[in-house]
Chains A and B, each alone.
Chain A
């Protein structure tokens, strides 16, 4: 019964879009993390370059990668996420 609610409730469309954004962010996060770690870190340790005293692969993958993710997550939430009421009657979504 009521299978169609899935399509009718506009809030679910928003929710599904945001779930996809979450998956997209994870994929980006993984590629960044993997690319810098193994792209720059696979050579012999003697040939490493350093940033702030840390091996460059580690700095880019873990330190900068973390900062980039914080910025992207914040931007995604601020600009792409929508506020919707959770209660059936439309209350409870507005007040903080």
Chain B
């Protein structure tokens, strides 16, 4: 085992753990437990809001999977990854003040609360709870596996003990601290992701003998690596552009991201978060994917893409610094997992249990139940992660696209289009998710675009046409 690498990682885990515990002490003082536990009492400031959005969104695929593909594909994949700069400003601008104000009017704590009040329909609540629970559970399992694999490869521990360490360090603060602990630890983790990217990018450029040298090495190996078209010319402009939907504007429809757009304190926090978020997400995406490309001449011949990032960090940095930098992907994974865990828990406790099973549950009982469900979910994911599925990015993108296709129109048009109604929302969710699964299975990358594009278009068509067709029989929305 490489103790010099393990030591900084261990300090990082303990530090996150303590920050989580510290921020969870505040939870008893809040007025409403649910609002506090699942939404941090809507008190996030600009910096924490920006960081928690980025950290939740930036996951194993930004730090491990993405740079691995960039290593193979060259600059064309960095170009593709830069479509994610959009997420820094678009989500908050589009959901924006309307979402924040409406969520307060509805007293909504979860995204599903918002949909419930807006559409006034059991079907919308059940469908959205179900898709959140299924899709995010699988996304969480994939991240969990990624986290454990990373610890395994860095420390030489067995997969089982790595999984245990990872699970224990995340679960404790999420279970007792709720949203505020998640958001505050996300801010720390986002900071580590930023600094880690900066250090590693600089070190890789130096190790490769400067950027001109690296680029000419790449071009000598295969000129395609420095074109926008990928190593074999297979990245068409249409295909690369279609990622603007999947990892750019479509992110508005991700419940784990959207819920954060109702957690901030005031307009000033939102304004700051837009600026900080754009800078940080752009820098991390550009930096991490460039690292993947630049790693190629330094360490040629790596077969498994997922190993590129850990291997290059160990190659170009002294061990103790590699330990600090490798805390960045660790942070990315933890910060995604903690948000997903809490969101799935909120779907079960708030959206299903309190809405339909026991609406008159007492505050103390809700509190106990929330802790119990969150803990139980964590343990369940852990058990699922024991026999890990191999395709980390695949699972991750599957849940990603499925949720986007389900939620984007019911949320966005629900906010801005008064004629949208419950029938349209249900039709759009079913069309979006079902067509995504069908396309994924039978006709992936249809018409040369990422699989998510057509389902999102279909679900838009379903939302608009069904809403208009049923205009007379549907009641007007509660308030828009």
Contacts and interface: CB of A to CB of B under 8 A. Distances in A.
Interface of A: 1-3, 5-6, 9, 11-12, 14-16, 18-19, 21-23, 25-26, 29-30, 33-34, 37-38, 41-42, 44-46, 48, 50, 52-55, 57-58, 61-63, 65-66, 69-70, 73-74, 77, 81-88, 92-96
B356 to A, nearest CB: 24
Given A45-B219, A62-B82, A96 B45 contact: yes
B307 interface: no
A88 B104 contact: yes
B156 interface: no
B93 interface: yes
Interface in B257-306: 265-269, 271, 274-275, 278-279, 282-283, 286
A29 B85 contact: yes
Given A45-B227, A96-B45, A77 B275 contact: yes
Nearest to B285: A66
Given A15-B101, A45-B219, A92-B265, A69 B228 contact: no
Most buried by B among A38, A73, A95: A73
A49 B272 CA distance: 37
B281 to A, nearest CB: 10
Interface residues of B, number: 58
Interface of B: 45, 75, 78-79, 82-83, 85-86, 88-90, 93-94, 96-98, 100-101, 104-105, 210-215, 219, 223-224, 226-229, 237, 241, 244, 248-249, 265-269, 271, 274-275, 278-279, 282-283, 286, 416, 418, 476-480
Nearest to B211: A53
Most buried by B among A6, A16, A62, A88: A62
Given A54-B211, A62-B78, A23 B94 contact: yes
Contacts of B227: 41, 45, 55
B228 A29 contact: no
A58 B74 CA distance: 11
Nearest to A3: B476
Contact of B223 (A19, A45, A50): A45
Contacts of B265: 92
Contact of A66 (B85, B90, B477): B85
Contacts of B211: 52-54
Nearest to B81: A62
Most buried by A among B82, B100, B265, B268: B82
Nearest to A96: B268
Contacts of A37: 79, 228, 237
Contact of B98 (A19, A41, A53): A19
Contact of B266 (A15, A82, A93): A93
Contacts of B213: 53
Contacts of A82: 267
B480 A54 contact: no
Contacts of B244: 30
Contacts, number: 157
Contacts of A93: 266-267
A70 B268 contact: no
Given A6-B418, A30-B244, 11 more contacts: A19-B96, A37-B79, A38-B228, A38-B237, A48-B226, A53-B211, A62-B82, A66-B282, A66-B283, A83-B268, A86-B100
A11 B101 contact: yes
Nearest to A81: B271
Given A34-B241, A38-B228, A55-B75, A3 B477 contact: yes
Contacts of A92: 265-266
A18 B97 contact: yes
Nearest to B43: A92
B150 to A, nearest CB: 27
Contacts of B282: 66, 69-70
27 contacts: A6-B418, A12-B98, A12-B101, A15-B97, A16-B98, A18-B96, A19-B94, A19-B96, A37-B79, A44-B223, A45-B224, A53-B214, A54-B215, A58-B79, A62-B286, A70-B275, A70-B282, A73-B89, A77-B275, A83-B268, A85-B267, A86-B100, A86-B104, A86-B267, A88-B105, A92-B265, A96-B45
Given A16-B416, A26-B248, A55-B226, A33 B100 contact: no
Contact of B85 (A34, A69, A88, A96): A69
A61 B82 contact: yes
Contacts of A1: 476, 478
A55 B275 contact: no
Nearest to B477: A3
A53 B209 CA distance: 11
Given A83-B271, A88-B105, A66 B215 contact: no
A58 B75 contact: yes
Q: Which 7 A-B pairs have the closest CB atoms?
A: A22-B93, A53-B211, A53-B212, A45-B223, A15-B98, A15-B97, A83-B267
A68 to B, nearest CB: 10
Contacts of B104: 86-88
